[in-house]
Amino acid sequence: MKSDTYTDIYVSPEDDIWYTLEFEKTSNTVIVTYYDQSLPILIQKPIHKIIKHTYENSAINAAFSKVLNNYKAKREDKIVEYKPVKTYTKPKGKTWDLTDISNNMKPMPRDFRNFIFQVSGNNTRVTIKTFISKADIIRNSLDVEEMDRYLKSLDNFELDDRKAGWPKI
């Protein structure tokens, strides 16, 4: 017997995305989107929080513009394969300390920062995980309650703030 209630919907832990990280290039804003996990999945609405405003010529702006910004592709109607793990390589001649990207997110709980950002290659590459799934949370013992307290303390990013022509949800 098939039921039409939301309780019969199953999402595998790998596909159950709890947090996403994105970058709004026009306003130089790093945004985390998350959902109220206490609600059934069919009635959850995304909550967008501003976690960082970046400066034009900073390492964090350069990296996020490259790995988190799909707005240009959207404007040009290109199909982009979205990869949840992206790597930014520091341009030659730049003396940026890529660990500053994670350090600039200091109010974010350390376990989440360490999971999202990894610097490698003698400070020449930063790998950024842009999706955090329930499976990631369980595997890495991430403190969701602390992360949610942190996110609730931040300003909302309203969809009207998007300047890139994305449709309102």
CA 97 to chain centre: 21
Average pLDDT over residues 100-109: 88
pLDDT of residue 81: 60
pLDDT of residue 9: 55
pLDDT of residue 122: 92
CB within 8 Å of 157: residues ≥ 6 apart: 24, 29, 31, 48, 49, 50
Residue 125 or 1, more confident: 125
Pairwise CA distance, residues 123 & 153, whole Å:
31
Closest to 88 in 3D by CA, of 54, 61, 125, 120: 125
Average pLDDT over residues 76-92: 75
Other C-beta atoms lying within 10 Å of the C-beta of residue 164 = 14
CB within 8 Å of 46: residues ≥ 6 apart: 33, 34, 35, 169
Asked if the model's pLDDT at residue 2 lies above 60, the reply is no
Q: Which two tokens stand for residue 107?
A: 């109010």
pLDDT tens per residue across span 140-157: 999 999 998 999 999 998
pLDDT tens per residue across span 23-54: 888 888 889 988 877 777 788 788 899 999 88
pLDDT of residue 166: 47
Across the strands, what pairs with 34?
A: 19, 47
Q: What is the pTM for the complete model shown?
A: 0.76
CA 135 to chain centre: 16
Asked if the model's pLDDT at residue 77 lies above 60, the reply is no
SS3 for 157? coil
Residue spans of the domains in the chain: they are 14-159
Plot region of 28 (φ>0 → left; ψ -120 to 50 → alpha; else → beta): left
